[in-house]
A and B are shown apart, each in its own frame.
Chain A
Amino acid sequence: MKIHEFQGKKLFADHGIRVPRGLVATTPEDAAGAFDELGGHFAVVKAQIHAGGRGKGTIKDNPQQRGVQLVKHREQASEVAEHLLGKELVTIQTGPIGKTVNQVLVEEGCDISRELYLGIVLDRAAGKPVLMVSTEGGVEIEKVAAETPDLIHKTHFDPAIGLEAFQVRKLSKQLGLGAAGFKDAAQFMKALCRLFVDQDCSLLEINPLVVTGGSELLALDAKITFDDNALFRHPDIAKLRDLSEEEPAEVRAADAGLSYVKLDGNIGCLVNGAGLAMSTMDIIKYHGGEPANFLDVGGGANVEQVTEAFRILVEDSNVKAVLVNIFGGIMQCTTIANALLEAYQTVEFNVPLVVRLEGTEVKEGRKIIAQSGVDIITADDLTDAAKKVVAAAG
């Protein structure tokens, strides 16, 4: 689960991690008021959406307006907020449609001496969290990783112990922080590692991490992703979820216990199991089609879930044909065939449906569909199913 920058900064502040003072505004008037309250000579107005690249991103109908802008007086704060609020911001991470800006963060300006990078992720290969820092802050870190990997310094830490002092000393040297900055860096980095572990984060990123004129570290950005599997033990974090940032059909699918990801193609698919669902997308592409989605109904496939899944698929206007691929293991194909028929008759199907069943009692299952008289195309195997659905989609 992702959260907004302002929510991340609140969490940082609660954990003793230094952030600039800032206020959230949902109207231009509030933004002007926030400028006054911060009381500085300048401030920064930042669009709040769940995507990176906001500084370089632009408003869809007003390419002059970027997602982050420095303002020098209250009128300008109000004007920039007006240009951002309710508009679509397009960044390298949002895709061409962009994301609607529902709130802006008005933040005090700060005295920047250097811009660094800091990130924490779970290193799957090492099976431990890893803290990464770089002197190359304020730019795309993926680019730094690809072009100058030597400039990214990594250190793994044990979640039970946290970051050790010697690890901070080493990283401080690599960042060129010097002896004066070491104490501050130790407090800052240890607190971040603690936050990562205590709140079950899967990603925590500060880009840029600023060294101020006073040689202190300051989190100018806050990007935090929490692991969905651990949200059950963080009810306060779960409340930070912003459903308006998520694809509505994906939210609806999750509520029904389905795993659904919308894609750009025109062949809807419904499959049991994640690996088989990905493979089904792959085989559609292999035979010249484009999948419209990933959809995993889970190991079984009951009538309610299949019905909801069918609804989601046929409501996507891009979908020109649907492929159902079920490997009936524990659940018999006869049960699945009956569930498919019931769901098919409940949902108004206006596109061709191809069904491939395999597994326990497959002959009887196919017979149930064939004898039902409904307009379902049956397939003998994976290849046959893919070819038929690609042909049906035109």
Chain B
Amino acid sequence: MSILVNKETRVICQGITGRAGEFHAQGCLSYGTQVVGGVTPGKGGQEALGLPVFDTVYEAVEQTGADATMIFVPAAFTADAILEAVDAGIQTIVAITEGVPPLDMVRVNKVVQESQSVLIGPNCPGLITPDECKMGIMPGYIHQKGPVGVMSRSGTLTYEAVWQLSNLGLGQSTCVGLGGDPIVGTSFIDLFQLYESDPATEAILMMGEIGGTAEEEAAAFVKDNVTKPVAAFIAGQTAPPGKRMGHAGAIISGGKGTAAEKTSALREAGIVVAESPADMGTVMQRAIKEASS
């Protein structure tokens, strides 16, 4: 078991004929993901990576039985690509694209919330269930199958955390990058719910960052609803207020969204929080030990 994706997941790539889409679809194929086709409007009937390309997501679903999509289209067209995937009944939608206007996401999220689809991202590295399905741009080989559910607002910081876990012999059930934008499809809380009810997940590691209140809301949720051991790290303890730190969502505004506030909210909820990013793996190990003793 795992969350969101597994070896049965049939994946298409929207934007497969673009440079990034083709490169990363190939990476997913090589990892063993069942990539079954691609979509680029106007290029239906062609082939990419030996897979059929369709004009619409509807045709792709009908002819390949796809139930998941990775979106690599330019930011201006991402909202439309997500909405098409929702309308075509795709179950798991992963939007990798960076730079989507936030008001587009307000419109998209309203539709997603009323549907059966789950949207991960945008501006995210994607998600991976080790040895089964990689849907995204992360390096597959650093992951190991195992009991830890991983989630983060950042890409390379997740790789760093996974690397530390794997080196400690702690494998992962599923790793999800939520995305670095102010408004994203899936929250920490959504994933806590999924990990809590997933039998393969025995512990959860979350990497948050400055900006917004997603970590504080997650902390309140964990306190009342999560029984599995949880560890965390918050990036941006040294970030100045009022400056966007790379991610559109990583900004302290009006004195709110600081790492200190988030860290204390997490600790109050009984979550073990790493002081240093070098200790993300070891705090997870500690939280698991404490829970079993």
**Chain B associates with chain A:** yes
Q: Does B83 contact A (CB under 8 A)?
A: no
A122-B103, A125-B213, A125-B217 are contacts. A282–B248 as well, Cβ < 8 Å?
no
A259-B246, A273-B154, A275-B153 are contacts. A330–B137 as well, Cβ < 8 Å?
yes
> What are the interface flags for A273-310 relative to B under an 8 Å C-beta threshold, 1 for contact and 0 otherwise?
11111111111111000010010100100000000000
A232 to B247, CA, bound (A): 18
A273-B157, A359-B159 are contacts. A125–B212 as well, Cβ < 8 Å?
yes
Q: Does A197 contact B (CB under 8 A)?
A: yes
Q: Does B107 contact A (CB under 8 A)?
A: yes
Determine if B102 and A122 form an interchain contact, defined as CB atoms under 8 angstroms apart.
Answer: yes
Q: Does B209 contact A (CB under 8 A)?
A: yes
Q: Does A240 contact B (CB under 8 A)?
A: no
Within 8 A of A (CB), among B249-277: 249-250, 254-255, 259, 275-277
Determine if B160 and A274 form an interchain contact, defined as CB atoms under 8 angstroms apart.
Answer: no
Determine if A124 and B277 form an interchain contact, defined as CB atoms under 8 angstroms apart.
Answer: no
In the complex, which of the residues A146, A200, A284, A299 contacts B101, with contact meaning CB atoms closer than 8 Å? A200
Number of residues from A at the complex interface, CB < 8 A: 55
Question: Smallest distance from the beta carbon of A330 to chain B beta carbons, Å?
Answer: 6
A9 to B236, CA, bound (A): 35
In the complex, which of the residues A122, A281, A381 contacts B106, with contact meaning CB atoms closer than 8 Å? A122
Question: Smallest distance from the beta carbon of B100 to chain A beta carbons, Å?
Answer: 6
A358 to B24, CA, bound (A): 21
Partner-binding segment picked from A79-87, A183-191, A223-231: A223-231
Within 8 A of B (CB), among A126-163: 127-129, 142, 145-146, 159-160
Determine if B278 and A296 form an interchain contact, defined as CB atoms under 8 angstroms apart.
Answer: no
Q: Does B180 contact A (CB under 8 A)?
A: yes
In the complex, which of the residues A197, A291, A327, A386 contacts B156, with contact meaning CB atoms closer than 8 Å? A327
A78 to B236, CA, bound (A): 46
A311 to B170, CA, bound (A): 40
Determine if A274 and B246 form an interchain contact, defined as CB atoms under 8 angstroms apart.
Answer: yes
Q: Does B243 contact A (CB under 8 A)?
A: yes
Residues of A within 8 A of B209 (CB): 274-275, 278
In the complex, which of the residues A127, A229, A381 contacts B248, with contact meaning CB atoms closer than 8 Å? A229
A273-B154, A273-B157, A275-B157 are contacts. A124–B137 as well, Cβ < 8 Å?
no
A282-B277, A329-B138 are contacts. A274–B247 as well, Cβ < 8 Å?
yes
Residues of B within 8 A of A359 (CB): 139, 142, 159, 163
Question: Smallest distance from the beta carbon of B177 to chain A beta carbons, Å?
Answer: 9
Determine if A159 and B107 form an interchain contact, defined as CB atoms under 8 angstroms apart.
Answer: yes
Determine if B245 and A278 form an interchain contact, defined as CB atoms under 8 angstroms apart.
Answer: yes
Determine if A277 and B246 form an interchain contact, defined as CB atoms under 8 angstroms apart.
Answer: yes
Q: Does A69 contact B (CB under 8 A)?
A: no
Determine if A261 and B245 form an interchain contact, defined as CB atoms under 8 angstroms apart.
Answer: yes
Q: Does A263 contact B (CB under 8 A)?
A: yes
A207 to B16, CA, bound (A): 48
B182 closest partner in A (C-beta)? A124
Determine if B277 and A283 form an interchain contact, defined as CB atoms under 8 angstroms apart.
Answer: yes
Residues of A within 8 A of B277 (CB): 276, 279-280, 282-283, 382
B153 closest partner in A (C-beta)? A275
Residues of B within 8 A of A271 (CB): 156
Residues of B within 8 A of A228 (CB): 244, 248
> What are the interface flags for B123-156 relative to A under an 8 Å C-beta threshold, 1 for contact and 0 otherwise?
0000000000000011101100000000011111
Question: Smallest distance from the beta carbon of B196 to chain A beta carbons, Å?
Answer: 21
Determine if B100 and A279 form an interchain contact, defined as CB atoms under 8 angstroms apart.
Answer: no
A285-B238, A291-B238, A383-B278 are contacts. A358–B160 as well, Cβ < 8 Å?
yes
Determine if B107 and A160 form an interchain contact, defined as CB atoms under 8 angstroms apart.
Answer: yes
In the complex, which of the residues A127, A259, A281, A282 contacts B183, with contact meaning CB atoms closer than 8 Å? A127
A227-B101, A277-B246 are contacts. A127–B109 as well, Cβ < 8 Å?
yes
In the complex, which of the residues B27, B236, B248 contacts A278, with contact meaning CB atoms closer than 8 Å? B236
B216 closest partner in A (C-beta)? A125
Determine if A360 and B141 form an interchain contact, defined as CB atoms under 8 angstroms apart.
Answer: yes
Determine if B240 and A197 form an interchain contact, defined as CB atoms under 8 angstroms apart.
Answer: no
A7 to B224, CA, bound (A): 49
In the complex, which of the residues B107, B239, B276 contacts A286, with contact meaning CB atoms closer than 8 Å? B276
Q: Does B237 contact A (CB under 8 A)?
A: yes
A328 closest partner in B (C-beta)? B139
In the complex, which of the residues B156, B237, B278 contacts A329, with contact meaning CB atoms closer than 8 Å? B156
Determine if A276 and B249 form an interchain contact, defined as CB atoms under 8 angstroms apart.
Answer: no
Determine if B160 and A227 form an interchain contact, defined as CB atoms under 8 angstroms apart.
Answer: no
Within 8 A of A (CB), among B83-108: 99-107
Residues of B within 8 A of A283 (CB): 276-278
Determine if A124 and B160 form an interchain contact, defined as CB atoms under 8 angstroms apart.
Answer: no
A273-B154, A330-B137, A358-B163 are contacts. A278–B239 as well, Cβ < 8 Å?
yes
A124 to B217, CA, bound (A): 12
Determine if A227 and B102 form an interchain contact, defined as CB atoms under 8 angstroms apart.
Answer: yes
Within 8 A of A (CB), among B55-101: 75-76, 99-101
Determine if B139 and A275 form an interchain contact, defined as CB atoms under 8 angstroms apart.
Answer: no
A175 to B107, CA, bound (A): 30
Q: Does A202 contact B (CB under 8 A)?
A: yes
Determine if A200 and B103 form an interchain contact, defined as CB atoms under 8 angstroms apart.
Answer: yes
A232 to B288, CA, bound (A): 47
Residue from A261, A274, A276, A382 with most neighbouring chain B CB atoms (10 Å): A274
14 A-B pairs (CB sep. < 8 Å): A122-B102, A125-B212, A127-B110, A127-B183, A160-B107, A230-B102, A275-B209, A275-B246, A282-B238, A291-B238, A299-B155, A328-B139, A330-B24, A383-B278
Interface residues of chain B, those whose CB is within 8 Å of chain A, are 24, 27, 75-76, 99-107, 109-110, 137-139, 141-142, 152-160, 163, 180, 182-183, 207, 209-214, 217, 233, 235-240, 242-250, 254-255, 259, 275-278
| Additional pairs, 5, CB under 8 Å, beyond known A93-B242, A232-B75, A278-B246 | A127-B106, A127-B110, A275-B152, A282-B236, A282-B259
Q: A-B pairs with the 7 shortest C-beta distances?
A: A275-B154, A274-B246, A273-B156, A275-B157, A230-B101, A279-B277, A329-B139
